[in-house]
Chains A and B, each alone.
Chain A
Amino acid sequence: MKLLVCIKQVPDLESRFKPDAAGTWYNEADLAFRMNEYDEYAVEQAVQLREKLGEGTELTVLSIGPDRVVEAIKKSLAMGCDNAAHIQDPAASGKDPWQIASIIAAYAKDKGFDIVFTGMQSQDRGSAQVGVTVAELLGFACTTTIVGFDYDNGTITAKRELEGGIKGIVKLKTPALVTCQLGLNIPRYPTLPNIMKAKKKEITVIPVAELLATEALAATTSFHPPAKKGGGIVLEGDVGELVDKVIAILKDKTAVLR
């Protein structure tokens, strides 16, 4: 069997974001990048399936972006992916979800993948489109937001997370694509021996121009902070003084402290 997991590298979301020169995305200076959290669950699920199926199964990890994304690729290899495709694109952040999905589909279409795993969305862009669009382009069965996964003999049984804590259980036949929700599993930390082993695994570099054949369908015209609504009080300073201020406010504004 052939498995593919698609990952994205995103900035640490605790960072402060400033617009870039064009004003349409964030300025990357001073940002630390790491694997998109949803994708860690996708990688873990793919690796678990790879381990269950054993010999004869090949798991490829794919990422699109500038050279910095190799770091996230290496982490996936250390978690247990067999090999990698780095689709080299310094301008990936300017592409819309349709183009990103088209690139992945162009890469995957003649490779005979049985199951493709993606995160349900990226933490920075958050469009939740790429996975489903890849499935449409490849003609794969697809389900989203999974918090449970099982595979047996060509059939995936997935548990989808719905609103209010309800789950929906679906079965789909491979070839299929699933998008992974937080909490699907507990992503492993790469061990030192596995990090060493990963250094020998092959990373195929493909310039994006070889795969990109679509124009963007949507354009970002502005990237900016939300308008401040005001009203809320922001308190900073010495912890002891903050506590006194907060207690005074709670006594004044709520009925819960006397």
Chain B
Amino acid sequence: MKTLLIGEYREGKLLDSTYELFGFASQLNADTAMLLVGSEAQLPAYGGALYLADAASCGEYNPDLHKQLILEAVQKESPDYIVFLHSSYGWDLAPRIAASLNIAQISEVIAATDGGFEVGCCNAKMRRTVKASSATAVLTIQAGAFPAVQPGGSPTVQNLAVVIGGALEFVGYEPAEKKDVDLAKAEIIVSAGRGVGKKDNITVIQALATALGGELGASRPVVDAEWVSHSHQVGTTGQTVSPKLYVACGISGAIQHLAGMKKSDFILAINKDKDAPIGEIADVLVVADVMQFVPALTAKVAR
């Protein structure tokens, strides 16, 4: 079995998540080739074939052009699987490859099984096993689902000729908003999720954070609704935290949130839904209404 792995590179750097692709390939016991739109100066620690195009001339985000490069490598390698990370780069590019080749795409793979691939669905509450009917398939793998593996060595580089073009013009990056709270340093974080119900109820969550001597965190929907500012957001597009105690109040546990807090030493979750995915990683799941339980807990803690 052969995999063509599509590495990631941003703002002049090879992204560490690239190594998760090797972790996936090694679980399949598959031969690997990699394609990277990156730089000679930032090669992955890997001793196999690397198709390399220069990001300085191709652009780091230029999907039409990257598609052409990947299709060229696919033709040379005839892989069984073309594997991306399920990331802003991967989910943008993968369907373009699948559509061009008229082959299946299986998104956000979390495990390989006998019958196919396991993927999450219904907000991570359920799983599907999906099988491709085409001989070759495009896969995107969930961030963090497979261990990062550094095979070691230096790649045999084959430079890809670059055809300039593409329908998009990349203007530039905008840095992440400045943080007025550094959650990464907090020992205790009490986070509010959609389950708190409304903006006014944030004060109840803040009160528990204060009583415990911790900081207020938040999940994405709460930030999008402007109940809490973005600097408090925990998750893939916010801050990644690992406090001694993480209290998740009314947070169902979307993958992107879990990715930002699952390394916490102790996770206490309060949710009225016993099946919420947060229960998968919580040390303690209290099945209760947040607005009843949290004030009662705060009162006892403050005493």
**Which residues of A line the B interface, CB within 8 A?**
11, 13-14, 16-17, 24, 26, 96-98, 101, 120-121, 123-129, 132-133, 136-137, 141-145, 157, 159-173, 176, 182-183, 186, 215-226, 229, 231-236, 239-240, 242-244, 246-247, 249-250, 253-257
Contact = CB atoms under 8 A, between A and B. Distances in A.
Contacts of A256: 187-188, 212-213, 244-245
Given A162-B10, A221-B116, A143 B92 contact: yes
A129 B245 contact: no
Contact of B133 (A133, A136, A216, A225): A216
B279 interface: yes
B224 A224 contact: no
Q: Sorted from nearest, which 5 A-B pairs have the closest CB atoms?
A: A165-B176, A141-B167, A217-B104, A136-B99, A132-B95
Contact of B244 (A186, A240, A249, A254): A254
22 contacts: A121-B91, A123-B122, A123-B123, A129-B94, A145-B92, A165-B238, A166-B176, A167-B173, A170-B61, A170-B169, A170-B170, A172-B167, A218-B132, A221-B129, A226-B120, A226-B124, A229-B280, A232-B284, A242-B286, A243-B293, A244-B300, A247-B297
Interface of B: 10-11, 61, 63-64, 86-88, 91-92, 94-96, 98-100, 102-108, 115-116, 119-134, 137, 167-177, 187-188, 212-213, 220-221, 223-224, 226, 230, 233, 236-238, 244-245, 252, 265-266, 268, 273-275, 277, 279-288, 292-293, 296-297, 300-301
A123 to B, nearest CB: 6
A67 to B, nearest CB: 22
Nearest to A126: B121
A160 B273 CA distance: 32
Contacts of B292: 239
A71 B252 CA distance: 26
Contact of A144 (B92, B116, B213, B281): B92
Contacts of B252: 13-14
Given A243-B293, A254-B266, A222 B115 contact: yes
Contact of B129 (A137, A222, A242, A250): A222
A163 B237 contact: yes
Given A136-B100, A170-B171, A171-B169, A17 B125 contact: yes
B168 A171 contact: yes
A173 B238 CA distance: 30
- Secondary structure dominating the interface of A: mixed
B99 A247 contact: no
A171 to B, nearest CB: 4
Contacts of A176: 167
B12 to A, nearest CB: 13
Given A133-B95, A172-B168, A222-B128, A233 B285 contact: yes
A226 B285 contact: no
A20 B2 CA distance: 35
A256 to B, nearest CB: 5
A132 B96 contact: yes
Contact of B104 (A98, A132, A168): A98
B174 A159 contact: yes
Contacts of A163: 87-88, 236-237
Nearest to A19: B126
B255 to A, nearest CB: 9
A165 B119 CA distance: 25
Contacts of B102: 217
B98 A223 contact: no
